[in-house]
Amino acid sequence: MRHLFLCGLLLCVSISSVLAATNVEGLYQKHCAECHGKERLGGMGPALLPGNLKRLKKSKAATVIRKGLPATQMPAWGKTLNDAQIEALVDYIYTPLASMPEWGMAQIRASHVVPHPYQSLPDKPVFDADPLNLFVVVELGDHHATILDGDRFEPLIRFKTRLNLHGGPKYSPSGRYVYFASRDGWVSKFDMYNLKVTAEIRAGINTRNIAVSGDGRYVMVGNYLPHTLVLLDARNLDPIKIFPVKNNKGKSSRVSAVYAAPPRGSFIAALKDIPEVWEISYLDNPEPVYTGLMHDYQLQEGFMDKGPFPIRRIKLDDYLDDFFFDPSYRHLLGSARNSKKGQVVNLDVGRKIAELDFSGMPHLGSGITWIYQGRRVMATPNLKKAEVSIIDMQNWKTIKRIKTLGPGFFMRSHENSDYAWVDVFFGPNKEAVHVIDKKTLTIVKTLRPMPGKNAAHVEFDRYGRYVLLSVWDKDGAVIVYDAKTLKEIKRLPMNKPSGKYNVYNKTHRSEGTSH
């Protein structure tokens, strides 16, 4: 017994010595800080704090560090770091900060800058291109954006953005203004007519994405840190209200995503750590909400909250990480990272009405729809499996799984095109992009625009005549294809171009692009 005790004591001393010898903060700064922030508050990757990691067990966190995380840009460090170093990093990221930074209304207001107040710039474009056929191209390689003429495929301007834009730029209803959000909380407003940044404000510390109301009056910001939604006046980005994101028991949550639902006059927010979806009305006089079964509705007294911007809380049986609307905005299709099953939520009745059968974690934020054999279907790539799922939107059944060369991230089409394009973002075939015939649900061509380099994210011009494809590399390009012949038309060298966003398609809610 004495021998066992001494062995155990020696083992504890040995482990403690190893951990003490491990400069864990140095390890973090060397391997993690570039993506997750020097103070663990988030950057290109999420914040690494106990509050953000509460759904992730320590053992799972060690596996993520060792093996990487599929469907993300998290690399595997198992060949670089030993077990002791990995365990030290796990303990480090689960340790609370000495003090959590505050980011409330005072800090938000103090960050506000307005170089060109609303209506101070001319109302006519300073260029002769079609303002509805412009593209915003985000270049992540050196944190710039390019405004591209969608008829001539020539840049109008290239300008510096905030670091690590995320969630996709969002346009005002007319397309004159575009709003950007960065991972570190900055929201920027850019005047597409005058090609100038008009206002900026920092609405959070670690931001997920933004949404613009259908009437163009408001911008809603969804944050990972702090756990808030922040409402801004779209004119000069003045802050209006902070919504603490908590359930009725006081448990707080990060915001997975927030989108506008224009036909409903509301914002829809999915929560990362609470199985709820929120609907926040931006109408001056929200109409009452009906709940209950078919033909047996019960009238609620408006939304659950009183006053301006009331919150309606819809309880679910699983978390929502990503979601997609049907064209009517009556149904929300959601997925969660810890579940293969998707959820269909009827927003009119305020409850889940069906489950979706997925086998590889869909990327529903990239979903698209079209009419197939007289019925509307939805198509989505899967982040963990080499297939595209086709869902019948009347009975919510999976009618086909199209096998691909690897898991995909983005899918796009256009109502005037016979084809849908999907990348193979993850895995050894990341250079490939598939073209799918929407009438036969078969792959008709596979393109490899730059062998060895990641090809991803397609966007059509406003007419559906041309397709723009990104090559995500420091020495990458935006490649223009003829949408019918699939022949290459032009290459525009760019620095890791990620998303491309056409003004007309976004503002008119094309069925072939995300909203």
Q: How far is CA 36 from the centre of its chain?
A: 17
At 288, which amino acid appears?
Answer: P
Spatial CA neighbour of 244 closest among 280, 212, 214, 213 = 280
The answer on pLDDT for 9 being more than 50 is no
Give the other-Cβ count within 10 Å of 418's Cβ.
Answer: 17
Q: How far is CA 243 from the centre of its chain?
A: 20
CA distance 454 to 496: 10
Torsion of CA 206, 228, 515, 305, to 10 degrees: 180
What mean pLDDT is predicted for residues 206-231? 96
Burial 238-272, CB ≥16 within 10 A → b, else e: ebeebbebeeeeeeebbbbbbbbbbebbbbbbbbb
CA distance 367 to 389: 10
Spatial CA neighbour of 512 closest among 443, 401, 421 = 421
Q: What is the pLDDT of residue 202?
A: 96
Domains in the chain with CATH codes: 9-93 (1.10.760.10)
Q: In what order do the strands lie in the sheet with 196-202?
A: 170-171, 177-181, 186-191, 196-202
For residue 201, the SS3 value is strand
> Which range has the worst mean pLDDT, 22-31, 126-135, 275-284, 293-302?
293-302
pLDDT band at 189 (very low <50, low <70, confident <90, very high): very high
β-strands 497-502, 134-139: how paired?
antiparallel
Q: What is the pLDDT of residue 11?
A: 38
Give the other-Cβ count within 10 Å of 120's Cβ.
Answer: 12
In tens, the pLDDT along 133-183 reads 999 999 999 999 999 999 999 999 999 999 889 889 999 999 999 999 999
pLDDT band at 86 (very low <50, low <70, confident <90, very high): confident
The answer on pLDDT for 38 being more than 90 is no
At 358, which amino acid appears?
Answer: F
In the beta sheet, which residues pair with residue 445? Answer: 435
The answer on pLDDT for 315 being more than 80 is yes
Q: What is the pLDDT of residue 507?
A: 97
